[in-house]
Amino acid sequence: MIIFQDLAEGAEATASISEEKTLSVIDLIVNGGTGSVVIIIVLFILLFVALYIYFERIFAIKAASKIDKNFMNQIRDHIMNGKVDAAKILCAQTDSPVARLTEKGVSRIGKPLDDINTAIENAGTLEVYKLEKNVSVLATVAGAAPMIGFLGTVIGMILAFHEMASSGGQAEMGSLASGIYTAMTTTVAGLVVGIIAYIGYNHLVNRTDKVVHQMEATAVEFLDLLNEPI
């Protein structure tokens, strides 16, 4: 009976130790104090903003990259046959940056080639600006989120050591360590938000560059079309 009682007591002690060591993320956030909670809330807001901008831009860029493969062939046929109005209508019916660039060029047929090229370049600048809308905000979140997280950790460390100094060096190490690792949760949260925003930013830049390359290729093809003998 004594052996079974000892085993039961040992199991209860092990269970209590495991319960003490188990700490949820919510507990870490709540136990960090008001400053930690405020910083975590700010980081969650930044995460929401980053995700919203990423998905909004990725769908916009995906839509901008879609274009009919026969679009330029149809433009070529219309221009070669002298149907400039038909080419304008085709561009107006196609909702894409490539079509809008081509429309600028078509509307200036008959003018010097340099004027046409300038008009296409100006239109391209506007289209790139539209594609990059709010992407800079994503870059700002990627850089600011880790710094905000570090700020929360530094504040937590200051408060922990202030408590130690106020108690004349007699503060319990358990409570001191608890305050320190709880404060470090803001660093983890800041790094997570920063990494997500950084990856999203670079992915959007890569996708935007592909659309810009597509616009440049179309502009060159259109200018070559105007130089072809009729």
The answer to whether the CB of 60 falls within 8 A of the CB of 134 is no
152 Cβ contact partners less than 8 Å away, ≥ 6 residues apart: 32, 35, 36, 39, 40, 183, 186, 187, 190
Q: Which residues pair with 109 in a beta bridge?
A: 111
Per-residue 3-state assignment (H helix, E strand, C coil) for the chain? CHHHHHHHHHHHHHHHHHHHHCCCHHHHHHCCHHHHHHHHHHHHHHHHHHHHHHHHHHHHHHHHHCCCCCHHHHHHHHHHCCCHHHHHHHHHHCCCHHHHHHHHHHCCECECHHHHHHHHHHHHHHHHHHHCCCHHHHHHHHHHHHHHHHHHHHHHHHHHHHHHHHCCCCCCHHHHHHHHHHHCHHHHHHHHHHHHHHHHHHHHHHHHHHHHHHHHHHHHHHHHHHHCCC
The answer to whether the CB of 75 falls within 8 A of the CB of 225 is yes
pLDDT at 27: 57
Distance CA 138, CA 75 (A): 37
The answer to whether the CB of 34 falls within 8 A of the CB of 112 is no
The distance in angstroms from the start CA to the end CA of the chain is 107
The answer to whether the CB of 145 falls within 8 A of the CB of 43 is yes
pTM: 0.75
Q: Environment class of residue 2 by beta-carbon count within 10 Å: exposed (0-12), middle (13-18) or buried (19+)?
A: exposed
pLDDT at 33: 58
Residues with pLDDT less than 70, the chain: 1-35, 160, 162-165, 167-182, 227-230
pLDDT at 90: 84
Amino acid sitting at position 196: I
